[in-house]
Amino acid sequence: MRILFCGDVAGRAGRDILAERLPALREELALDLVIVNGENAAGGFGITPEICKALYQVGADAITLGNHAWDQRGTERYIETDPRLIRARNYPRGTPGSAGALLHTQDGRSVFVFQVLTQLFMDPIGEPFACVEETLQEYRLGHSVDAIVLDVHGEATSEKQALAYLADGRVSLVAGTHTHVPTADHRILPAGTAYISDVGMCGAYESIIGLALDGPMARFTRKRPGPRAAPAQGEATLCAVLVETDDETGLARHVGTLRQGGILAEAWPV
C-alpha cells in the first residue's frame, strides 16, 4: 500500500499548491491514500468546512489537525459532522470530533489514522505516551487493520522520537508535524515503522514558518505585538512523506520524502 502524508498546509499558498499538484501525484505515485495536516489551512490558524471540502476534492482522504484545531469559529459544530477530520486523540474525554479515522482504500484495505499532541513547549493536554499505548491495544497492525498512521504534532524532536520508538513495529508511519521545517531523518526504525521528525509544510518558505515576515519580526525584535500575523503569499513548496507498506505485516518497506515547487530543493520519494 502507498500512503502519502502532506505536511501542515499554511494558508492559501499551501492550499493552492495542493490543488495544483495533488491530483497528478495521486496518479503518478499510484497512491492508495492521502492524509493532509490542515490545522493552519485557514489564514494560518485552524480550518473551515469549505477548506475541508476543497482538500477532499483535490485528493485528500483524511485531514489531521493540531494545537490550532479550534481557532476558527464554527469548528466545534462542523467537526462533529466530518469523521475524516481528525483532532488529537489525547484531548480530554468529551472533546467534540473524531479522535481517529478508520479509512478504506478503493480495494478494501483498512487504514487507521490518529494524532497526538506532545507536551514539551506545548499547551499540555492529555499524556501522549499512554494515549498511544492504549490506542495500539485496540488497533493492531496486520490483524485488525492493514496500516496505521500516527501524526505526532509537537515542537520537540526528542519527544517525537520517543513516541516513534514506543510505536515501532506497531504502526506503519509516524509523521511529525507542527514545526513547518522538513527534516532529513526519514528512515525505517528497527522494528519496521517509518519515521520522520517533521514532514515540513505545504506553504511559502520565503517566510517565517509560513507567516509573512512583518508580524514575527516585530515580535522578535521589538518584544511586543506587531502587525497581525498572516500567511506568506509567495510561491509555495509541497512537502510530504511517502510510505510503502508490506501487504502482510503493514510495516514499512520504503519511506521517502517529496518536495515540489517553491524555493526548497526538490525531492522525489521513489
Residue type at position 265: A
What is the distance between the alpha carbons of residues 42 and 148, in angstroms, rounded to a whole number? 27
Chain Cα centroid distance, residue 208: 19
Handedness of CA 77, 80, 84, 87 (dihedral sign): positive
b/e per residue, 151-161, with b = 16+ CB within 10 A?
Answer: bbbbbbbebbb
Q: Which of 68, 178, 180, 186 is catalytic?
A: 68
Nearest to 188 by CA among 198, 196, 178: 196
Count how many Cα atoms sit within 13 Å of the Cα of residue 247 in the half-sphere of its side chain: 5
- Output Rg (C-alpha) for the chain, integer angstroms: 17
155, 120 Cβ separation under 8 angstroms:
yes
Is 68 catalytic? The answer is: yes
Strands (E), 97-208: 101-104, 110-117, 147-153, 173-177, 187-188, 194-196, 201-204
Count other C-beta atoms under 10 Å from residue 68's C-beta.
20
Q: Where in the sequence numbering do the catalytic residues fall? A: 68
